[in-house]
């Protein structure tokens, strides 16, 4: 057995997102989001599931906060639904929406839990998608207006901010692969979306500073760590492209003020260019205070000219997989965090990490040992990373509770707490109690 002691000020938390847990989709003045539309489009979401009810956290947030208190977390990452704040995306402010989040945040603070707020976790107002979404500068300006409303309302209550969750998913999963909303399948569109959200990020950071908003602000890319299947230069390059599209494509503009040239060249060969306007890169590269990193798995990749826009293919190496099919391999988190050092030893929070394990209730318990094993491996890597002197400041497990897992609907379960979607009864899993113990001790006790 090994004991891994964490720093005294290390933040322990969990994460969720508005569309995935709130429900009340037609309540409180909320407007329609692209996920309401996408989920109602036949064939897009498993079983035709949607976020109309979800976990009903809009009405049950006090119960959820009681669970957080029981778990012992000191930090809770959530997202604000833009369609609750400005229902048509760019018009009147909905006071009822702001009041909901004030009640929620006040309850969190009362419980001694630090709110960690994501401004955009994929629920774009449909009216803005109707005019071209993030590829239209009007959407960029509407986001800044929305962000400024939130900064003014919650400065002093919220001190940890993220502009965007998983920009690769927003741009490429949703507009090149078409797997998430709005479901476009076009390379130029996806590059326009990526650039638009980066400009929106930079402008929001400028507003954050100008308004003197309390706290720190950053962005949360998701990681695609990949190692080459062979020693061939082609396989190495295929991995570089896969990693770069999730990370460098967004963090080079933010930290260096320019896109990674090898990727710009790669896309130009495919006939796609970045729609940079005068001053964009200066706006995008506003200094930020922190990075959120979302890590789930890693791949062994090889070159395949038939394998999509990146010509990079993941090889199934027969590793143990979670129930969503992702290999369990915590090594990629350690390797990636060292890769990230090229941007400097910036403050990093793991804003998502977790396992899709679809165990169900058995005699009133959920014995999700596989999820415990996943967390054990990944927290051991977290300790290695901190031990190497990297500024990893906190960890948020994805997710507090089972919720709407996008195109997979409700069949895929990432929660530490089981949700019965008929009764909405919450039941802490064995992993909840395991994580509770890690938090209480502020150390990890491995079984090996």
Ligand X SMILES: N=NNCCOCCOc1ccc(-c2cn(C[C@@H]3NC[C@@H](O)[C@H]3O)nn2)cc1
Enumerate the active-site residues. 166, 352
Q: Contact, 78 vs 116, CB < 8 A? A: yes
Using CB under 6 A, which of 33, 51, 405, 410 touches ligand X? Answer: 405
Is 20 annotated to bind ligand?
A: yes
The stretch among 59-67, 161-169, 270-278, 417-425 that binds ligand X (CB under 6 A) is: 161-169
Q: Measured from the CB atom, is 241 or 383 closer to ligand X?
A: 241
313 binds ligand X (CB under 6 A): no
Residue number of the CB closest to ligand X reads 224
The answer to the question of whether 35 is labelled as a binding residue is: no
Among 45, 54, 171, 224, binds ligand X (CB under 6 A): 224
Nearest distance from residue 122's CB to ligand X, in Å? 7
**What 3 state SS string does the chain have?**
CEEEECCCCCEEEEECCHHHHCCCCCCCCCCCEHHHHHHCCCCCCHHHCCCCCCCCHHHHHHHHHHHHHHHCCCEEEEECCHHHHCCCCCCCCCHHHHHHHHHHHHHHHHCCCEEEEEEECCCCEHHHHCCCHHHCHHHHHHHHHHHHHHHHHHECCECEEEEEECHHHHHHHHHCCCCCCCCCCCHHHHHHHHHHHHHHHHHHHHHHHHCCCCCEEEEECECCEEEECCCCHHHHHHHHHHHHHHCHHHHHHHHHCCCCHHHHHHHHHCCCCCCCCCCHHHHHCCCCCEEEEECCCEEEEEECCCCCCCCEEECCCCCCECCCCCECCCHHHHHHHHHHHHHCCCCEEEEECCCCCCCCCECCECCCHHHHHHHHHHHHHHHHHHHCCCCEEEEEEECCECCCCHHHCCCCCCCCEEECCCCCCEEECHHHHHHHHHHHHCEEEECC
Window of 156-164, 172-180, 335-343, 433-441 that interacts with ligand X by CB under 6 A:
172-180
Q: Nearer to ligand X by C-beta: 280 or 329?
A: 329
If one asks whether residue 396 binds ligand X (CB under 6 A), the answer comes out as no
**Binding flags for ligand X, 99-138, as an x/- string (CB under 6 A):** ----------------------------------------
402 binds ligand X (CB under 6 A): no
Looking at 87-95, 173-181, 369-377, 416-424, which segment touches ligand X (CB under 6 A)? 173-181
Segment near ligand X (CB under 6 A); pick from 61-69, 169-177, 184-192, 381-389: 169-177
Q: Does 222 bind ligand X (CB under 6 A)?
A: yes
- 49 counts as binding ligand X under rule CB under 6 A: no
Q: Say whether residue 166 binds ligand X (CB under 6 A).
A: yes
Q: Which is nearer to ligand X, 352 or 376 (CB)?
A: 352
Q: Is residue 398 annotated as involved in ligand binding? A: yes
* By CB under 6 A, residue 240 contacts ligand X: no
Question: Is 17 one of the binding residues for ligand X (CB under 6 A)?
Answer: yes
* Shortest distance in whole angstroms from residue 223 CB to ligand X: 9
Residues 175-214 that bind ligand X (CB under 6 A): 177, 179
Q: Tell me which residues touch ligand X (CB under 6 A).
A: 17, 20, 165-166, 169, 173, 177, 179, 222, 224, 294, 296, 352, 398, 405-406
């Amino acid at each position: 057995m090994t004991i891994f002691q964490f720093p005294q000020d290390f933040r322990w938390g969990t994460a969720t997102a508005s569309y995935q847990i709130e429900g009340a989709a037609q309540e409180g003045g909320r407007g329609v989001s692209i996920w309401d539309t996408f989920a109602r489009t036949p064939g897009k979401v498993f079983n035709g599931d949607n976020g109309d009810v979800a976990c009903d956290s809009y009405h049950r947030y006090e119960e959820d906060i009681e669970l957080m208190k029981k778990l012992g977390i000191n930090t809770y990452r959530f997202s604000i639904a833009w369609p609750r704040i400005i229902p048509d995306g760019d018009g009147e402010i909905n006071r009822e929406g702001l009041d909901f989040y004030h009640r929620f945040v006040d309850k969190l603070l009362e419980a001694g839990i630090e709110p960690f707020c994501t401004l955009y976790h994929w629920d774009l107002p449909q009216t803005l998608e109707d005019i071209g979404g993030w590829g239209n500068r009007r959407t960029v300006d509407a986001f800044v207006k929305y962000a400024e409303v939130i900064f003014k309302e919650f400065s002093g209550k919220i001190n940890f901010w993220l502009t965007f969750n998983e920009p690769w998913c927003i741009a490429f999963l949703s507009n090149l692969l078409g797997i998430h909303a709005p479901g476009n399948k076009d390379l130029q569109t996806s590059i326009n979306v990526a650039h638009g959200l980066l400009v929106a990020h930079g402008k929001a950071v400028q507003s954050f500073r100008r308004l003197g908003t309390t706290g720190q602000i950053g962005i949360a890319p998701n990681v695609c760590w990949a190692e080459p299947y062979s020693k061939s230069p082609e396989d190495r390059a295929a991995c570089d492209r896969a990693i770069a599209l999730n990370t460098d494509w967004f963090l080079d503009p933010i930290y260096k003020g320019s896109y990674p040239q090898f990727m710009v060249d790669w896309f130009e060969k495919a006939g796609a260019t970045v729609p940079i306007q005068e001053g964009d890169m200066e706006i995008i590269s506003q200094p930020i205070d922190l990075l959120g990193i979302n890590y789930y798995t890693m791949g062994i990749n090889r070159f395949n000219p038939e394998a999509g826009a990146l010509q990079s293919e993941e090889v199934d190496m027969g590793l143990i997989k979670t129930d969503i099919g992702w290999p369990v391999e915590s090594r990629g988190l350690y390797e990636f965090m060292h890769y990230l050092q090229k941007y400097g030893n910036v403050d990093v929070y793991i804003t998502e990490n977790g396992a899709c394990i679809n165990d169900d209730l058995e005699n009133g318990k959920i014995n999700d040992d596989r999820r415990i094993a996943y967390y054990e491996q990944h927290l051991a890597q977290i300790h290695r990373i901190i031990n190497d002197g990297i500024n990893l400041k906190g960890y948020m497990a994805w997710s507090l509770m089972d919720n709407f897992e996008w195109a997979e609907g409700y069949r895929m379960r990432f929660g530490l707490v089981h949700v019965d979607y008929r009764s909405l009864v919450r039941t802490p899993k064995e992993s909840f109690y395991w994580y509770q113990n890690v938090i209480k001790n502020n150390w990890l006790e491995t079984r090996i």
